[in-house]
């Protein structure tokens, strides 16, 4: 078969969950240049791997302007994830490089991890596990979702799925969104409320919003002071949505009962103050990391890349709004 393109594939787990994405590329005449390090690559390693490639599939690895410039013939990047923080979109546009992503591919799995954090916290699972390992038999008294109110900030794909799962447990759902979609009420029993009321009334608060100039530190000291002392905070969305120092203060001073966190201001998060607290459940940005979710993202990324090579409609091209958002975020940081 004639080689139509050379593709850098940088995600270290590519094809491990389902070989179909690899087969799709090979059948389309794509020569695959793999990340053989079996770990997340840094910028200098990406600069070496991408040399001579026409197209690329990338995950959380840095796809910077410097990386792109190492392969002047680069024409298309398929992002094997939802978030776009690791790709310099406007640098790609300046170089006439198209970019796709896979929105919605991980919505179910992120919602599941959110519910996992909630159940672990309200039932005292982590505390009971630690006691058992210390040789102590003590039945921790927890709480049931049917007696609790869950407040969801952000009712997009993941927020809606989280609400659906929690409703099955009998929880009361209140929600806040900058653009409330009341059509959701036709299939989910939720009540739309203001952000302030949600903070005051909810026993559990879940964040499911993107990181934008408007959502940076959406939960800060002021918001934590408004929450109930026995409330829990869950963030499986994006690092930077909560002020981590304020959360540490709230947890150590019993302003809130606990937190479940999967995403952090700086990742990897290793040995920070949150990890010293017993009333925090911590995971390592693994909301999308299930077999079916990984396979789905890889297959959809391969579909986008092949559509580009075939000069067909690319089903999940990154919209202009994401390019504009990156410019806005860079202006804040500068």
Domain ranges of the chain: 5-105+290-333, 107-282
CATH architecture, domain defined by 5-105+290-333: 3-Layer(aba) Sandwich (3.40)
pLDDT at 206 over 70: yes
Mean pLDDT of the chain: 95
pLDDT of residue 1: 67
Q: How many other CB atoms are found less than 10 A from the CB of residue 180?
A: 14
- 298, 303, 307, 306: which is closest to 14 by C-alpha? 298
Domain 107-282 sits in CATH at 3.40.50.720
Average pLDDT over residues 85-91: 95
Average pLDDT over residues 103-108: 93
Q: Mention every residue, 6+ apart, whose C-beta is less than 8 A from residue 224.
A: 233, 246, 247, 249, 250, 255, 256
Name the percent of the chain lying above pLDDT 90. Answer: 93
- 224, 113, 202, 108: which is closest to 153 by C-alpha? 202
Confidence band, pLDDT 50/70/90 cuts, at residue 155: very high
5-105+290-333 and 107-282 have identical folds:
yes
Q: Name the strands in the sheet holding 190-192, side by side, starting at the edge strand that comes first in the sequence.
A: 190-192, 172-176, 149-153, 204-207, 232-235, 258-261, 280-282
pLDDT of residue 107: 95
pLDDT at 127 over 90: yes
Q: Which pLDDT tens digit goes with each residue over 223-261?
A: 999 999 999 999 999 999 999 999 999 999 999 999 999
pLDDT of residue 168: 96
What is the Cα–Cα distance from 281 to 257, expressed in whole angstroms? Answer: 12
Q: Which pLDDT tens digit goes with each residue over 290-334?
A: 999 999 999 999 999 999 999 999 999 999 999 999 999 888 876
The residues annotated as belonging to the active site are: 238, 267, 285
Q: Do residues 258 and 235 make contact, with C-beta atoms less than 8 angstroms apart? A: no
């Amino acid at each position: 078969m004639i080689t139509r393109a050379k593709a850098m594939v940088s995600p270290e787990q590519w094809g491990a969950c389902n070989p179909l994405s690899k087969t799709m590329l090979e059948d389309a005449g794509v020569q695959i240049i793999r990340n053989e390090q079996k770990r997340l690559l840094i910028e200098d390693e990406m600069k070496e791997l991408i040399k001579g490639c026409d197209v690329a599939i990338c995950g959380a690895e840095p796809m910077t302007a410097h990386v792109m410039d190492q392969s002047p013939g680069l024409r298309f990047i398929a992002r094997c994830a939802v978030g776009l923080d690791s790709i310099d979109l406007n640098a790609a546009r300046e170089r006439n490089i198209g970019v796709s992503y896979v929105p919605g591919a991980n919505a179910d799995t992120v919602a599941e991890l959110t519910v996992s954090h909630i159940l672990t916290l309200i039932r005292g699972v982590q505390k009971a596990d630690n006691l058992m390992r210390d040789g102590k038999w003590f039945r921790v008294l927890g709480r049931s979702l049917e007696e609790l109110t869950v407040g969801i900030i952000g009712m997009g794909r993941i927020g809606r799925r989280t609400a659906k799962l929690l409703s099955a447990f009998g929880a009361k759902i209140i929600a806040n969104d900058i653009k409330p979609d009341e059509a959701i009420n036709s299939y989910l029993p939720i009540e739309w409320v203001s952000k302030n009321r949600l903070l005051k009334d909810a026993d559990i608060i879940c964040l499911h919003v993107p990181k934008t100039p408007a959502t940076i530190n959406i939960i800060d000291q002021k918001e934590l002071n408004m929450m109930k002392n026995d409330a829990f905070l869950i963030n499986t969305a994006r690092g930077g949505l909560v002020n981590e120092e304020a959360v540490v203060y709230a947890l150590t001073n019993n302003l809130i009962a606990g937190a479940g966190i999967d995403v952090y201001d700086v990742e990897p998060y290793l040995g920070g103050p949150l990890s010293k607290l017993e009333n925090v459940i911590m995971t390592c940005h693994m909301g999308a990391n299930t077999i079916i979710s990984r396979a789905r993202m890889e297959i959809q990324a391969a579909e986008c890349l092949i559509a580009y090579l075939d000069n067909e409609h690319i089903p999940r091209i990154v919209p202009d709004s994401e390019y504009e958002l990156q410019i806005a975020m860079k202006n804040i940081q500068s």
